[in-house]
Structure 1
């Protein structure tokens, strides 16, 4: 009698296949949040590292000039020049700075396109989906970063109780409330990468939005990611996620309106900021408003600082 050998079957039955598929699906659903969390942690750390390097550059500038750079200035040349241009040689951008100085435009937004439009990763938060962003000043495009300096804890204007404002020359000795308790810089949201002519605030750029406030400073009047709208003479967008904004007129800001720009980010739960001593902190959205306001002055004499 002839016997036929039948090789064993190693295929999946339908039931087994369904079980494996369901198991893979469950594992994927469990791992996906962990992957997202790991990515956000990386973006948050990268953002904090950016701020740390910028703070180091600001302190190096301070060592050389006995003060931090001015918030912004007016002038017959390089009008609306702000801390960003002054800091370029201290962040490894000597050639960009030299091109800007050689061009010596009457307004900073008239600097050559190769200068004003160059994106600098150090000044961009990877969590902001709009980056690398361009902002509007007059009818030109210009690089728009994610970080601005402390103006104070009230409306943005020519003068301030903070560090960066018109013709400011703030030194560490001026920070009588203590450098370890006073904000130096924070992140803001770019409100999209499209250029909007005449946009102010975080929708402006480092190249000409200074007088409107957002290119050089933020207010600590409200805690990070507040639901209170930024108030700007012209918003780049009033519907961008995480960044409510309303156009405003009247008041006493340099543009004729009560300008307000608050710390904002896409990091869940808060925003990165750097203190005047160079240390980086993640400031939670639930931070007490009064304490945050106290961190927004250099000589307020408050005793309830963290």
Structure 2
């Protein structure tokens, strides 16, 4: 067999030049730059949809509870009623939203912070957490707010958190904020400490305001907010998602009845909600997550209504409109949101 000469020319192999390689890398970088925002938008949309589904499950839980008990759960039971048990509405509806395993761990004859409930309240429940909220999963280990059970040990027992809360009432109002006139007669005067005013309370009101039945929701269930997002606790968040530190008490646990709040409006710059009714408190949502509406969705928040429906309301909605939607019997005719 004849051997090929050592110096015989071999066929040349095709290859990218350096310039061609740089061009390809540049094109890939551009495509990634175009794709990433789209992926982020898809993820945000998926998180918002999942959050909406969570609220739907809770709303149905409340309606199933009403069907079984002929009344809605108490939104903020701070042992206001004689012999009352200190527990949250989210604990009460567990059996009505397919969370029977955790409900079976919970002793409903004892306060939520009783030692017998430590195991139950440490559970992190998926439908009580919005996927758009940072730092998942998380627990609340801050001191909880009293009154305490007789068996309370004073330890910072770990509590599974929630991003969703009932709004007890629309607490304060100043007519110069948004000019609430015409369809908003109950907003015509400044009021403080009106947690139990029949025209101002919400569906998941405090025990002392009396139970809520369908008959008491004279504004209509489809026109009344039942559950709102107040996400991120026990971390304190302010305007623009700014982290302000740690809440103490955190009031973040789904079992903690202290977490429910009264809608007031917040300062759009600082997030402050006091003094109540101050003219500067024009921010409707996502300026303060301590005791106000707050979400990590772009442009608004999800809300569950008394008829079981869930709606996304824009952060540009006026205080007048959201305030009207909070009350169950305010007599307002709220415009479209």
Q: Is the pair's TM-score, using the shorter chain for normalization, greater than 0.5?
A: yes
- Structure-2 residue corresponding to 1:205: 253
- Cα offset for 1:189? 1.7
Q: Is it true that 1:101 corresponds to 2:107 in the alignment?
A: yes
Structure 2 Cα separation of the partners of residues 271 and 122 of structure 1: 16
1:57, CA displacement in angstroms? 1.1
Return 5+ residue gaps in structure 1 as ranges.
233-241, 246-259
Q: Distance in 2 between matches of 1:219 and 1:292?
A: 12
Residue 265 in 1 paired to residue 282 in 2? no
Relative to structure 1, the CA distance from residue 116 to residue 218 in structure 2 (aligned partners, 3 Å threshold; closer, same or farther) is same
TM-score (normalised: structure 2): 0.72
Matched, 1:172 2:214: yes
Give the Cα–Cα distance (whole angstroms) in 2 for the partners of residues 286 and 116 of structure 1: 36
CA contact (8 A) 2:76 2:168 kept: no
- TM-score w.r.t. the length of structure 1 is 0.79
Alignment match of 1:17 (pick from 15, 21, 24): 21
Match status 1:299 vs 2:329:
yes
Per-residue CA distance 1:159-180 (angstroms, 9 max, x = gap): 3511123224211221111111
User: Which of 151, 168, 171 is the equivalent residue of 1:151?
Assistant: 168
Query: SS at 1:140's partner residue?
Result: coil
Gapped regions of structure 2 (runs ≥ 5)? 145-153, 173-192, 237-244, 276-285
- Verify the 8 A CA contact 1:96 1:115 in the aligned structure 2: yes
Q: Quote the Cα distance in structure 2 between the aligned partners of 1:81 and 1:110.
A: 14
8 A Cα contact 1:88 1:96, kept in partner: yes
Aligned to 1:256: none
Q: 1:34-92: CA deviations, max 9, x gaps?
A: 01111011000000011111111111111111111111324498842121121010122
Which residue of structure 2 aligns with residue 183 of structure 1? 225
The answer on 1:134 being equivalent to 2:139 is: yes
Shift of 1:196: 6.4
- Aligned-residue Cα RMSD (Å) equals 3.1
Output aligned runs, 1:1-306, within 5 Å.
4-75=8-79, 79-101=85-107, 104-108=109-113, 110-135=115-140, 136=142, 137=144, 139-154=156-171, 159=196, 161-167=201-207, 168-192=210-234, 198-200=248-250, 203-208=251-256, 210-211=257-258, 215=259, 217-222=260-265, 228-230=271-273, 244=288, 261-306=291-336
**How far apart are the structure 2 equivalents of 1:224 and 1:296?**
19
Task: Using the TM superposition, give the Cα deviation of residue 22 of structure 1 relative to its aligned residue in structure 2, in angstroms.
Answer: 0.5
Quote the offset at 1:304 in angstroms.
3.1
Cα distance in 1 between the residues matched to 2:334 and 2:319: 11
Deviations 1:233-258 (A, max 9, x none): xxxxxxxxx5547xxxxxxxxxxxxx
Per-residue Cα deviation, 1:10-45 (whole angstroms, up to 9, x for no partner): 211011011001101100100000011110110000
Greater radius of gyration (CA): 2
Cα distance in 2 between the residues matched to 1:288 and 1:193? 27
CA change 1:38–1:161 in 2 (3 A) is same
Aligned length: 275
